[in-house]
Chains A and B, each alone.
Chain A
Amino acid sequence: DVKVTQSSRYLVKRTGEKVFLECVQDMDHENMFWYRQDPGLGLRLIYFSYDVKMKEKGDIPEGYSVSREKKERFSLILESASTNQTSMYLCASLPPPDRVTDTQYFGPGTRLTVL
């Protein structure tokens, strides 16, 4: 039973294109996150949202924007894709730490290649 889904597993785009990555969770979590993961750099937080229409910048928001119109859906937007945005993008849906269970929290990831 998949709890967090991402719209694409693999995506190839051209420089300058606008890219939409979508994430949907069915756990009724308030907090949702977008990370990118690169070899040697680990997980880096791009944006997070703690409620509908609320968003906060993470550590590396430049070149990205997000949208949270519904609680279950959190979208990451690359306004004008560049080659340095080639990466694995991971969406996470996380409860407060005092409600952590063994539920799957991360989506399967989208491997984006920008040519």
Chain B
Amino acid sequence: QKEVEQDPGPLSVPEGAIVSLNCTYSNSAFQYFMWYRQYSRKGPELLMYTYSSGNKEDGRFTAQVDKSSKYISLFIRDSQPSDSATYLCAMSRRRGSYIPTFGRGTSLIVHP
């Protein structure tokens, strides 16, 4: 079993839909949780970052962490065609030496 599991999709939704992207993990030592967005033929860019459990909101994006279930989510409200990209979750277990573990990424397609 991989440390971080992420459904590769693709996930196809109509414009304006609420999108839910998820990752599960097995290592309870993970404390830092990130979401990256990667457009085609580009490098990933950091989208959201949370520490420990709870929610974090930034505009149309909400990141949610449930450490008891080892489950993290990224919600996108009012999705736009420009949100079409691959979304990768990443997590890290400790301070200092920062070695993130990535999910495989979920391909999202928002069609007009």
Q: Please give the residue numbers on chain A whose beta carbons come within 8 Å of chain B beta carbons, in ascending order.
A: 4, 31, 40-43, 45, 48, 50, 90, 94-98, 100, 102-109, 111
Contact = CB atoms under 8 A, between A and B. Distances in A.
Nearest to A9: B41
Interface of B: 6, 8, 31-32, 34, 36, 41-46, 49, 51, 88, 92, 95-100, 102-105
Given A31-B97, A94-B98, A109 B92 contact: no
B46 A97 contact: no
B95 A98 contact: yes
Contact of A109 (B43, B49, B95): B43
Nearest to A105: B46
Interface centre among A4, A94, A95, A104 (most CB of B within 10 A): A94
Contact of A90 (B43, B49, B51, B99): B43
A43 B102 contact: yes
A105 B100 CA distance: 12
Contact of B98 (A96, A107, A109): A96
Contact of A96 (B6, B45, B49, B96): B96
Given A94-B98, A94-B100, A100 B105 contact: no
Contacts of B105: 42-43
Contact of B44 (A45, A100, A106): A106
